[in-house]
Amino acid sequence: MVGGEHVREAVPDDAVDGVVPSIVVEPGSVEEVSEVLKLASGAGLKVAPRGSGTKMELGNPPAGLDVILSTRRLNRIIEHAAGDLVAGVQAGVRLEDLQEELSGANQMLALDPPEAEGTVGGIVAADASGPRRLRYGTARDLLIGITVVLADGTVARAGGKVVKNVAGYDLSKLFTRSLGTLGVIVETIWRLHPVPFASGTVAAELEDAASAGAAVQSILHSSLVPGALELRWRGGRGRLAVLIEGVKPGVEAQSRAARELLGEHGEARILDESEEDELWSELLPMPWESGGIGLKIAGVPAGLPDVLESVERITGRYGFEPEISGHAGTGVTFVGLSGGDEDSRAAAIGELRRGVEERGGSLVLVQAPAELKRRVEVWGSTGDALQLMRRVKERFDPGYILNPGRFVGGI
């Protein structure tokens, strides 16, 4: 179907949470993806889609795995309609390569997850984003068209090359954050934005959680339009950075205003260009190492002080010194934990999750050893949504061949 040179036996590095597949297949077209899935569906083979592999640690250990379906060869930029600020891209295109191509027209896809080498299909499947989500939103907001191949090989398309397109079901949003459990994303259409003419960063040193929360609220309730509002936190203190983008006079004026607002809560200053680059290189990576434990806490921005204090209090009780970062303006906080035995890890995460959920938030285990995932629910509580999710899964993948077990509730 795909040519012998594009099929190989799997090796240990292809394992997903310790589950090793039999083969890796790399189709080079939508038609080849369709043929592969028809065969897999008929034979009952379990399939895991994979782009560059940056999000393969996300989710529960798979209930079964026979085939890795790589989108590496689906790496073509189909169309860039610069005048319409729209681009059509195959799923295996790496984000950094797409951004380089768009930069020639002074345009960008306004997504900046920490894994720039990630593919656009993987970014959609995991709904990966970065600091700029505060201003531009996530993949759900920027994706306007999608082509997917369902488990039985059916090719489905939705959306189009215009921003407003409401015909049919919104597959773009349904497949965003589906983690490859509903179908294989093969093509995407994106709404683009112009590259800002200028940027500036204001940073504030904050001495306690209350000051951090107050500083964030002062920016969010002002007339400023920040591109990002990022926090790095450790040991009860940290740094808040505000990114301002636009035309140079506006950037300068808003930077001065941001400095005045943040100066009421800590030492604040406008960074020069070299300092700005250095700071963002520190802020962008996740606060955990490969093989460590990574948590994602979502809540309301006003709850930031409670999150910071509870994370340090609870994890400290179990002997951890957490590394914390986050998108402070959207209420998303990331926590890295290292060390400790399996019992203390499970207990700390469980206690922390109970507190977060009591406040109406959620905690997802983004990265962890498979043994810990089997003890601690990766996704947390879903409430009444799980039954609906199961019905959707059964409609799109009744044989449960696509990433079985990895999503919410073992879907």
Domain with residue 210: its CATH number is: 3.30.70.260
pLDDT at position 162: 54
Q: Does the residue 327 lie in any domain?
A: yes
Quick check: is 360 in a domain? yes
Are 115 and 186 in the same domain? yes
Count of domains forming the chain: 4
Question: Using CA atoms, how far apart are residues 384 and 181, in angstroms rounded to an integer?
Answer: 19
Position 223 in a domain: yes
Tens of pLDDT, residue by residue over 228-250, are: 999 999 999 999 999 999 999 99
Q: Measured between alpha carbons, how far is 366 from 344 in angstroms, rounded to an integer? A: 18
Three-state secondary structure call for residue 100 = helix
Per-residue pLDDT at 244:
97
Does residue 145 fall inside a structural domain? yes
Nearest to 95 by CA among 115, 74, 76, 79: 115
Do the Cβ atoms of 243 and 273 come closer than 8 Å? no
Q: Which residues span the domain enclosing 359?
A: 293-375
Measured CA distances, 39 to 33, 142, 233, 246 (Å): 10, 33, 49, 51
Of 71, 98, 117, the position where a domain reaches its end is: 71
- Nearest by Cα to 405 from 12, 65, 125, 52: 65
**Has residue 255 been placed in a domain?**
yes
Does one domain contain both 83 and 171? yes
> How high is the pLDDT of residue 384?
84
The answer to whether residues 229 and 310 belong to one domain is no
Question: How many other C-beta atoms are found inside a 10 Å radius of the C-beta of residue 206?
Answer: 25
| 14: CATH | 3.30.43.10
Asked if 211 contacts 255 with a C-beta cutoff of 8 angstroms, the reply is: no
For the cut 60, the answer to whether the pLDDT of residue 324 exceeds it is yes
Report, as an integer, the average pLDDT of 392-409.
96
Question: For position 167, what pLDDT does the model report?
Answer: 47
Determine the average pLDDT of the residues in 249-265: 97
Stated pTM of the model:
0.94
Among the three residues 22, 53, 71, which one is the final residue of a domain in this structure? 71
Give the percent of the chain with pLDDT over 90. Answer: 92
Could you give the CA distance from residue 185 to residue 174 in angstroms, rounded to a whole number? 11
Q: How far apart are CA 311 and CA 318, in angstroms?
A: 11
Region 360-381: what's the mean pLDDT?
95
Query: Whole-angstrom Cα distance, residue 142 to residue 164?
Result: 11
Q: Examine the domain organization and report whether 183 and 260 are in the same domain.
A: no
Cβ neighbour number for residue 267 with a 10 Å cutoff: 12
Q: Which tokens go with 394?
A: 């059964």
CATH assignment at residue 332:
3.30.70.600
Q: Domain for residue 405, yes or no?
A: no
Q: Could you give the CA distance from residue 282 to residue 312 in angstroms, rounded to a whole number?
A: 21
Segment 305-311 mean pLDDT? 97
Q: Provide the pLDDT confidence category of residue 290 given band limits of 50, 70 and 90.
A: confident
- Do 255 and 304 lie in one domain? The reply is no
Q: Give 383's pLDDT tier (boundaries 50, 70, 90).
A: confident
- For 13-38, write each residue's pLDDT tens digit: 999 999 999 999 999 999 999 999 99
Give yes or no: residues 279 and 209 share one domain: yes
Is residue 402 a part of any domain in this protein?
no
Q: How, if at all, do strands 77-81 and 143-149 pair? A: unpaired
Q: Is residue 401, in this structure, part of any structural domain at all?
A: no
One domain, residues 302 and 364: yes
- pLDDT of 61-103, one tens digit each? 999 999 999 999 999 999 999 999 999 999 999 999 999 999 9
Q: pLDDT digit string (tens) for 115-169?
A: 889 999 999 999 999 999 999 999 999 999 999 999 999 999 988 765 444 444 5
Specify the pLDDT at position 166: 44
Final residue belonging to a domain, choices 162, 194, 226: 194
* Residues 142 and 180 both lie in one domain: yes
- Fill in the DSSP letter of residue 322: -
How high is the mean pLDDT of the chain? 95
Can you tell me the mean pLDDT for 178-201?
Answer: 97
Q: Which residue has the higher pLDDT, 297 or 166?
A: 297
**CATH number, domain at 124?**
3.30.465.10
Same domain, 152 and 66: no
Are 87 and 183 part of one and the same domain?
yes
Roughly what angle, to the nearest 10 degrees, separates helices 304-317 and 342-358? Answer: 160
Pair 261, 298 in one domain = no
Same domain flag for 55 and 155: no
